[in-house]
Chains A and B, each alone.
Chain A
Amino acid sequence: MMHFLEPEIIAAVGILATLVAAMLVRPRSTVPYWFGLVFSAAALVRALTLQQHTHLYGGAVLGDSYSIVVTVFTLLAVMAGLLLAWDPERYGPEFPALMQLAGVGAMVMGFAGNLILLFLGLELLSLPLYVLAASRRTSLGGEAGLKYLLIGAFSSGILLFGAALLYGATGSMTFVNFTAVHVVPGLMAAGLGLLLVGLLYKLAIVPFHMWVPDVYEGSPTPVTAFMAFGTKVGAAAALLRVLAFGFSLSAAWWGLMLGYLAVLTMIAGNMVALPQRDLKRLLAWSGVGNAGYVLVGIASHNVVGAQAALFYLLPYGLAILLAFTVVRILEGREAAPVTLASLKGLAYRQPWLAVGFLVAMLSLAGIPLTAGFIGKFYLVRGAIAADQWGVAMGLVVATIVGLAVYFRPVQQMFAPGEGATGRFTVGTGIVLAVAALGTLFIGIYPEPVLHAVIQSARFTWLH
C-alpha cells in the first residue's frame, strides 16, 4: 500500500543514515557525502521504476505520477548540490543531511494533498536551507541566512493564516474538498489570497522577490544551485497542485491575477538582470524571471498550461544548475566573487567549461535545439489556448530582454583578456556533463521526457 512513497521513504532513511555516518567518521571524511549521494540515487531509481499510484487519507497524500515527477526533479537538484559541495573541509559533515532534508521537504510539497502536509513540506524545505544559507561564515553569508530566515518565517506565517481562513471557510484541510463545499466567498477569497502570497514568496514572484539576490549571492554556491532548482520545484508543484485540485472552478479569477504577476515577474526579473555584474546576482535575477515563466503555465489554468509549467521546471533547472556549476568551478576554494569580467577569455582558456556555459545561456535564452526552447514553446501554447494573448506577448518581450542578459556573459567568454581559471573536480565535472547533455538531448529529441512529464500533469478537469 505504501509502495508509492518508497522513494520518499528511502530519502528519509538516507537522512538518518547520513547523520549517523557523520557522527561515526572523522569530520573531514567524505563518507556522509557518499551516503547522501547513494541514498538519493537509490530513491531516484525507485522513483523512476515506480508504477503504482495511490491516494491516502481521503486525498491528503496524493501519490501519483505528478508527485513522482516532482520527486525526480528534487532528487536531481539534491544530487547536483551534493556533487557541487564535494569538499567536507569547506562545507562540513552536516551538509549532506541538511541538503537531503530540504529535498524531502520539496518532495512532501509534491505529494501534499492537504494544507497541513503542504505547510509541513514547506517548513521541511525551508528550515535546513536557513542553516545552509548562513553556512558561509562571512558577513554576506550571515546576511543571506538572516534575510532568508526572516522573510521565510514571515511568508510561512502568511501561508498559515491563509490556511486557517480556508479551514474556517470550508471546514476541511483537503484540497479536493474546497471545490465541493459551498463557501462564504469573502473568507474563501482572503484565505486563498494569503495562501497564494505565502507560496509566491517561496517561488520568488515579483513583488515577493526582494530577498532573492542577496540570499543567492551570500549562500554557498552549491546551496544556491539547490535553491534555484529544488525550492522552485517544490513551491511551483504545490502552487499548481493546490490551485488545480482545490480551486479549478474559480480559475478565471486566479488565472487573471497570476497572469499579471507572471508578466510583471518575467519582465522585471530579466530587466534587473541586465545591468548585473556579479554572475551569481545575474543568475538570481534570471531565476526570478524564470519563476515568472513557470507562473505563465499555472496562470493559463488549462491542461496544456499545467503540463507546460511542470515541464518548464526541468529545462530551467538543468540550465541554472549548469550555470551555477560554472560559477562553482570558477570561484575556486576561496569562493571569490565571479563577475562578468572573470569570464573574459574563458573560451580560449577552458573551452569545455565555456561550452557548458554556452549551452546554459542558450537554453535560458530559449534558442531552439536546447531544452529551453521546447519549454517556452509549450508555455506559449498554453497561454494562447487560454486566450491570454497579453501574457504570451509579455513572455516574448521578457525573452527578448533575456536574450541581452544571457548573451552578455557569452560575449565576455569570447572577448580577449585574462579572467578567472577554475579547476574541475569529479563532482563538478559530472554535473556539468549531465546537465549540458541533458539540455541538448531534451532540445533535440524532447519526446520521451516531454511525454513522461506531461502525462503526469493531465489535470483534465481544468479543460
Chain B
Amino acid sequence: MLAFFLVLIPWIGLALFLLPKAWVKAGAVVLALVEVLLFARALVAPVGKSLGTVDWNWIPSLGVHFHLSLDGLSLFLVGLATVITLAAVLTSPRDRGAAYYFWLLLAESTAIGVFTALDLVTFYVFWEVVLVPVFFLLGGWAIGPARRTALKWLIMNLFGSLFMLIGVVALGVVHAQETGHLTFQLASLAHTTLVPAVAPWVFLSFLVAFIIKAPLWPLHGWMPPAYSDAPAPVTAVISGVLSKLGVFAMVRILVPLFHVEMAQAEPWLMALAAVGLVYGAELALRQKDVKMVAAYGSLSHMAMMALGIFTLTQAGLVGATFYMVAHGVMLGGVFLILGWYEDRTGSRELRTLGGLNQAVPKLTVWFQIFALATLGLPGLPGFAGEYMIFQGLIQSNVTVAVVAGVILVVAAWYMLRLFQGAMQGPRAPGRAPGDLTTPQVGLIGALGLLVLVLGIWPASVTSHLPTLAPSGVHQAAQAAARKGGERA
C-alpha cells in the first residue's frame, strides 16, 4: 500500500484551495514532507523485499490492473522525486497561490506513479497525466513567451506518447491473441512474441516517446525554452525528476520487453546517444546564459545515461540507474542555486556577471560543490555513475567509450567555465548582493549531504538494484540476425 499512498497523498493538495492564502505554502510543505517520510519508511525495510505493492483489478473489461510496486529499481527514484519536490516547495515564494503548489505536488504524484507502475496501462496513464501539471507550471506562471513553451512541451510529448499508445495496445492485443488472456502486466508481456514485421515498429513507438520525454538529441526541442522560462523550483523538478522518466522507462520497459530489438539496433542507438552526448556538451560550452549551460549540460548527461542503458550490460544499466538518482539530486541543487543567484543579481548573462565570491561566500561554496559533483569529480556521485557506465561501454563498444571519455573532459570545462564566469574574476559593477539565508543554507546543505553520501557510498543505491541485464541477449540477437531478423 505504501506505493499507493505515495501516489495518493499529493492529491490532498486539492485541499490547498480551501486554505487561507497565508497557509497554502505551509500546507504544501507538510504534504511534501509526508512523502519524504513515507519514502524513509520504505528505506528502512529489509533489502530485497518489495514493499508496498498494490495490484488491483482496475478495469477487468480492458484487462488493466492498477499495479504499483516499490521495488529495488524504483525505490530510489521515488526517493528522488520526494526529496526534490520538497526542496522545490520550500524554495518557492510564499505568494504563489494554491494552484501552483497543487500542480507541483501533482507532478510528484504522477512521477512516482510512472516509477512504480508494473502494468503497462497504469504506466501509460501516469506517463500522460504528468504532462498536465507541467503544462500549467510552464504556462500559467512562467515569464515571457511561456504559453508557447507550455504548448510545445505538451504537443511534443503527446506526439511521442500517443504513438506509444498504439504500441501499448498492440502488445496487449498480440498477447491476447497468443494466450487468450488480455493483460498489460509487464511480467506477462515480457514473454510475448511479436511478429517480425511489427516488432521494430512497436519498439520504435516506445523508444521515440522515451527519447522525447528524457529528452535526448534530436528530439529535445521542448527543453531549451522550458528550462529557460520556468522559475527555478520548477526547472529543478523538471530536470531533477521528470527528465528521469524517459530514461527510467527505458530500463523498466524497453530492456525487459525489447532487448532483442535493442541488441539488433545497438550500433544505431549508441551512435544516437553519442551524438547527443557531444551535441549537449558542445552547446553547453557556447551558452551565454548561466541556466542554459546547466540545461545543455543536462542534455549531455541524459545521453550518458542512455549510453549506459544501450550497452545492455549489468554494469551499464546499474550505472545508468544510479546516475539517474545522483544526477537528479545534483542538477536539482544546481538549478536551485542558479535560481538564488538570479534572485540576487537579477541577471543570467554570463558576460555581465562575475566576481561574486567575495560578496557571497556561502553561495560560492555550495555552487562549487555542486558544480564539481556534476562534472564527475571522484568521490562525488557523478563519478561513480559515469565509472559504471564506462565499464559497460568498454564491455560492449570501446569506440563510444573513448568519445564519452573526451566528453567528460569537456564537461569539466563547461562546468568550470560556468563557475568561473559567475563567481570568480573581476567584480561586476553594482551593489553587493546578500548571501544565502540560513534556511537556504540548511536546504542546500541537506541536498549536499545527500550528494556526499551518494558519492562516498554508491552501494547504498546499487545494492538494492535487481539483475537488470537480460541474459544472453547479444547471442540471441546474433542468432536472430542469422535467421533473418526473426525474434528469439
Contacts and interface: CB of A to CB of B under 8 A. Distances in A.
Interface of A: 362, 367-369, 373-374, 376-378, 380-381, 384-385, 389, 392-393, 396, 399-400, 403-404, 407, 411, 414-415, 445-447, 450-451, 454
A450 B59 contact: yes
A447 B150 CA distance: 33
Interface of B: 58-62, 121, 124-126, 128-129, 131-132, 135-136, 139-140, 147, 150-151, 154-155, 158-159, 162-163, 165-166, 169-170, 172-173
A404 B157 CA distance: 12
B166 A384 contact: yes
A377 B165 CA distance: 8
B129 A369 contact: yes
A404 B166 contact: no
A385 B139 CA distance: 38
Query: Chain B binding site: helix, strand, loop or mixed by DSSP?
Result: helix
A368 B125 contact: yes
Contacts of A378: 62
A286 to B, nearest CB: 17
A399 B162 contact: yes
B58 A380 contact: no
Given A368-B125, A396-B163, A414 B136 contact: yes
B59 A447 contact: yes
A411 B155 contact: no
A400 B61 contact: no
Contacts of B136: 414
Contact of A451 (B61, B151, B165): B61
B169 A377 contact: yes
Contact of B128 (A367, A384, A393, A445): A367
Contacts of A367: 128-129, 131-132
B462 to A, nearest CB: 33
A381 B121 CA distance: 12
Contact of A407 (B58, B61, B154): B154
Contacts of B150: 411
Contact of B173 (A374, A381, A447, A454): A381
Contacts of B154: 403, 407
Given A396-B165, A399-B162, A404 B129 contact: no
Contacts of B126: 368
User: Among the interface residues B61, B132, B158, which one has the most CB atoms of the partner chain A within 10 A?
Assistant: B61
B99 to A, nearest CB: 8
B169 A381 contact: yes
A447 B61 contact: yes
A136 B166 CA distance: 45
B151 A404 contact: yes
Nearest to A385: B173
8 contacts: A362-B132, A367-B131, A368-B125, A380-B166, A384-B166, A396-B162, A396-B163, A411-B151
A407 B169 contact: no
A359 B140 CA distance: 17
B147 A411 contact: yes
Given A381-B173, A393-B163, 17 more contacts: A368-B126, A369-B125, A373-B128, A376-B165, A377-B62, A381-B62, A400-B155, A400-B159, A403-B158, A404-B151, A407-B154, A411-B150, A414-B139, A414-B140, A445-B58, A446-B59, A451-B60
Contacts of A445: 58
User: Among the interface residues B121, B132, B163, which one has the most CB atoms of the partner chain A within 10 A?
Assistant: B132
Nearest to B126: A368
A217 B30 CA distance: 49
Nearest to A411: B147
User: Among the interface residues A369, A374, A384, which one has the most CB atoms of the partner chain B within 10 A?
Assistant: A384
A5 B314 CA distance: 66
A403 B151 CA distance: 9
A403 B135 CA distance: 12
Contacts of A380: 165-166, 169
A407 B151 CA distance: 8
A369 B173 CA distance: 22
B169 A384 contact: yes
A381 B155 CA distance: 23
Contacts of B61: 446-447, 450-451, 454
A97 to B, nearest CB: 38
Nearest to A403: B158
Nearest to A378: B62
Contacts of B162: 396, 399-400
Given A411-B147, A411-B150, A396 B166 contact: yes
B129 A415 contact: no
B172 A381 contact: yes
Nearest to A446: B59
A400 B151 CA distance: 12
B128 A368 contact: yes
B129 A368 contact: yes
Contacts of A362: 132
Contacts of A377: 62, 121, 165, 169
Contacts of A404: 151, 155
6 A-B pairs with the lowest CB-CB distances in the bound complex, closest first: A368-B125, A396-B162, A380-B169, A450-B61, A368-B128, A414-B140
Contacts of B139: 411, 414
A400 B165 CA distance: 12
B222 to A, nearest CB: 14
B169 A447 contact: no
A404 B169 CA distance: 24
Nearest to A389: B166
Nearest to B121: A377
B473 to A, nearest CB: 27
A411 B150 CA distance: 9
User: Among the interface residues A367, A399, A415, which one has the most CB atoms of the partner chain B within 10 A?
Assistant: A367
A387 to B, nearest CB: 10
B58 A447 contact: yes
A452 to B, nearest CB: 10
Contacts of A447: 58-61
Contact of B62 (A384, A414, A450): A450
Contacts of A400: 155, 158-159, 162
Contacts of B59: 374, 446-447, 450
A135 B190 CA distance: 60
Nearest to B58: A447
Nearest to A415: B147
Nearest to A368: B125
Contacts of A411: 139, 147, 150-151
Nearest to A414: B140
A454 B60 CA distance: 12
Contacts of B135: 407
A443 B130 CA distance: 16
Contacts of B129: 367-369
A385 B176 CA distance: 10
Contact of B155 (A393, A403, A446): A403
Contacts of A389: 166
Contacts of B58: 445, 447
Contacts of B155: 400, 403-404
B364 to A, nearest CB: 38
A411 B159 CA distance: 19
A385 B135 CA distance: 33
A220 B283 CA distance: 56
Contacts of B163: 393, 396
A215 B60 CA distance: 41
A393 B121 CA distance: 18
Nearest to A397: B162
Nearest to B148: A411
A369 B128 CA distance: 10
B123 to A, nearest CB: 11
Contacts of B62: 374, 377-378, 381, 446, 450
A14 to B, nearest CB: 33
B451 to A, nearest CB: 35
A362 B158 CA distance: 13
Nearest to A362: B132
A400 B125 CA distance: 16
A411 B132 CA distance: 12
